[in-house]
Copies of this chain bind each other. A is one copy, B any other.
Amino acid sequence: MKIAVLGTGDVGKMLGDRLLAGGHAVRMGSRTAGNEKAAAWAAAASGDASTGTFADAAAWADMVLLAVSGMAALDVVASAKEALAGKVVIDLTNPLDFSQGFPPRLSVCNDDSLGEQIQRAVPDARIVKTLNTLSNPLMLAPGQLEGPHDVLLCGNDPQAKSAVRELLVSFGWNDPIDLGDITNARGLEMWLPLWVRLFQALGTPMFNLHVQR
């Protein structure tokens, strides 16, 4: 598949590498075409790696991973609104606001969510919220953590969710839990305050939620 990774941070680079290793073509999108971090990533990567603007990458791709910071997410999707129309977009952002220090608060929660805001900002894109509940190294390599653990997803478009589920399963996720429509992004994002406190208490990000049932 041709997969656009929007974002040149640690998450974007790590996911880009994993997707390349999985045999996908990856275009890393950034605000400007000549982004140095994206170029350095593509030069060092092995596989079909390329770079472009957010809109270039989205227009080229079969599937889009939104891997920017939560505070930037709405601007980024708005800048690629036309290119995102009809695309399956994996939203793995969290509305973490560090402006008042650590632990972060959420910039939106309870009656709305960043996932819903993103879906409203690009209504023709097919947003699937997933992977936001766990640390970067586990996102596309769940086997790095022994024992059963879960990934959850939600979104309004059943076909988009099927495509994302297939991608997740190909990277080792056993049985992604489909919560329903995009309003479930509220619950997925409101898990973060507990995740952050568990990260502090356990002293490692290498843990994940397992729904024991």
Q: Which residues of A contact B (CB under 8 A)?
A: 105-106, 109-111, 145, 147-149, 177-180, 184, 186-188, 190-191, 193-198, 200-202, 204, 206-213
Which among A179, A194, A201, A206 has the highest number of chain B CB atoms within 10 Å? A194
The 7 closest A-B pairs by CB, nearest first: A187-B194, A207-B213, A149-B212, A210-B210, A187-B193, A190-B190, A210-B212
Contacts of A195 in B (CB 8 A): 187
Pairwise interchain contact A213-B179, C-beta atoms closer than 8 A: no
6 new A-B contacts at CB < 8 Å, known A177-B201, A191-B191, A208-B213: A105-B110, A110-B193, A190-B193, A202-B213, A207-B213, A209-B209
Question: How many copies make up the complex?
Answer: 2
Pairwise interchain contact B179-A198, C-beta atoms closer than 8 A: yes
Query: Which residue on B lies nearest to A194, using beta carbons?
Result: B187
Pairwise interchain contact B207-A212, C-beta atoms closer than 8 A: yes
Contacts of A147 in B (CB 8 A): 212
A213–B196 Cα gap in the complex (Å)? 14
A109–B107 Cα gap in the complex (Å)? 12
A196–B187 Cα gap in the complex (Å)? 8
A34–B186 Cα gap in the complex (Å)? 42
Contacts of A200 in B (CB 8 A): 179-180
Contacts of A208 in B (CB 8 A): 211-213
Pairwise interchain contact B212-A197, C-beta atoms closer than 8 A: no
A206–B190 Cα gap in the complex (Å)? 21
**Chain B nearest Cβ from A62, distance in angstroms:** 28
Known contacts A110-B105, A212-B149, A193 near B186 by CB under 8 Å: yes
